[in-house]
A and B are shown apart, each in its own frame.
Chain A
């Protein structure tokens, strides 16, 4: 057993864990952070987009030395069928600002940098160490962790569970259930390397400008899912994700879906000639507000993906992790400064502060969206995209058909596919869930 006792143990060195460890170490707490990877970042997988605002609250001058890829100047949303895409593109020179709002990053590299900041703040970071279980006293109070190292029991006043989406320790200790197949998505991703000039030319970028493409439609073959393409400096992050329950139900393969997305005529030219250097997979919490488990208890708090904090509609996750990690740490520091014990009652300050933040407010706003998207996936991810694509083609193709006749055909195709009541109720349900 490691005799040394810590004020706090942080399990995991992702965005949530690093934010928590940094915040507590900076305020003088004795912090131990445990990470199972060979270095902080080596097990972490994300798209990835970094939201500057949430990192600025932790490291105000991060732009000076953080390994950032490109700042985003353009967002493309695509609805796709087999051979086409209908897009909404937003590009603005306003995003070429002194302190850009969003960047693409490569997580393994970014997290290594983030971890260095955690060490500089005074936390002890121990890698290549898997936490195997939470230590609980006879009252069920969490008093530390057991690791896979020899004599691996370590004690602390509080354990911050930043263990990621699978949340194995929390489940093992009976703090929360496992993620359910209809509440998590499986995303697979490849890193496609191309020269900087090629990426600039293909995506109409210059300097450090970057772009995001998000695509939904027939690429997910009727399942609830989405494809993404993010431009980094010298590579493209390209991936696709769908609900685990949908994979289970349909028998589609994740890599088959990825290959289909890559072959799409709107996508293939963007990655032509690239060299793939990595293939990864990751689960993404999709249950929203209603899937958030208990956030704290006797001697523990849970942050980030482990708490299922992910805004699937806006595809924000890492910023929710960072913010929840920071807020949990601030609550712990406040309790510590009062010399109060880390009881469930005292730690509920974390939940209160989180409830008042954008994290829970945003998730609450979209609390009905997961149910809507997950139960009508055929309509939203197959039927509508096909109808939109057909309508767009009819609209732009000039073939001598009178416009009025075209519009009538367009409308009747929608009614035939979904019926008046179906169209009406889909619109109503979206409006309600969005509000």
Chain B
């Protein structure tokens, strides 16, 4: 099957409501020179496409569109590649239907 245009997931996130906790990202990527295979897998596995590769070849996370599933935690937390927590109370994704 052909791969889907990458912008589609941004379209999907547009349906959702969020209360963004500015300046308090609930997921942080450990600074690295070369990303681990686990971090690289998040570029595809994150359902909200929060993980992206920077121009310098680092994996970066932007949590504004995060739907708080925990996939990156399951893959990347144990090894220390990321620090993961839930957003502060009331912040983050606000599901209308769930």
Task: Name A residues whose Cβ lies closer than 8 Å to a Cβ of B.
Answer: 36-38, 41-46, 48, 82, 106-109, 111, 127-130, 132, 147-149, 165-166, 168, 178-181, 184, 186, 188, 190-191, 221, 235, 244, 247-248, 251-256, 259-260, 276-283
**Among B70, B74, B89, contact of A129 (Cβ-Cβ < 8 Å):** B89
Q: Is the interface of B mostly helix, strand, loop or mixed?
A: loop
Neighbouring B residues of A148 by C-beta, 8 Å: 88-89
Additional pairs, 15, CB under 8 Å, beyond known A43-B92, A166-B70, A255-B8: A38-B90, A147-B89, A165-B70, A168-B73, A178-B73, A186-B69, A244-B74, A251-B44, A254-B45, A255-B9, A277-B96, A278-B95, A280-B95, A281-B47, A281-B67
Sample 14 A-B pairs with CB under 8 A, ordered by A number: A37-B94, A46-B98, A190-B12, A244-B71, A251-B41, A253-B4, A253-B9, A255-B4, A255-B8, A255-B49, A259-B8, A278-B96, A280-B95, A281-B47
CB-CB contacts below 8 Å: B67-88 with A: 67-71, 73-75, 77-78, 84-88
In the complex, A180→B77 CA distance in Å?
Answer: 11
In the complex, A168→B27 CA distance in Å?
Answer: 13
Query: Chain B: which residue is nearest A282 at the CB level?
Result: B69
Neighbouring A residues of B85 by C-beta, 8 Å: 132, 168
Query: Chain A: which residue is nearest B41 at the CB level?
Result: A248
B77 near A280 with CB under 8 A, answer no
Neighbouring B residues of A252 by C-beta, 8 Å: 44
Task: Name B residues whose Cβ lies closer than 8 Å to a Cβ of A.
Answer: 1, 3-4, 8-9, 12-13, 15-16, 19, 38, 41, 44-45, 47-49, 67-71, 73-75, 77-78, 84-90, 92-98
In the complex, A186→B85 CA distance in Å?
Answer: 18
Given A148-B88, A166-B70, A283-B71, residue A276 in contact with residue B96 (CB < 8 A): no
Shortest distance between the CB of B7 and any CB in chain A (Å):
11
Query: Chain B: which residue is nearest A256 at the CB level?
Result: B4
B94 near A178 with CB under 8 A, answer no
Neighbouring A residues of B9 by C-beta, 8 Å: 253, 255
A36 near B98 with CB under 8 A, answer no
In the complex, A38→B97 CA distance in Å?
Answer: 14
Neighbouring A residues of B93 by C-beta, 8 Å: 43, 280
Interface core residue of A37, A45, A147 (most chain B CB under 10 Å) = A37
Shortest distance between the CB of A257 and any CB in chain B (Å):
9
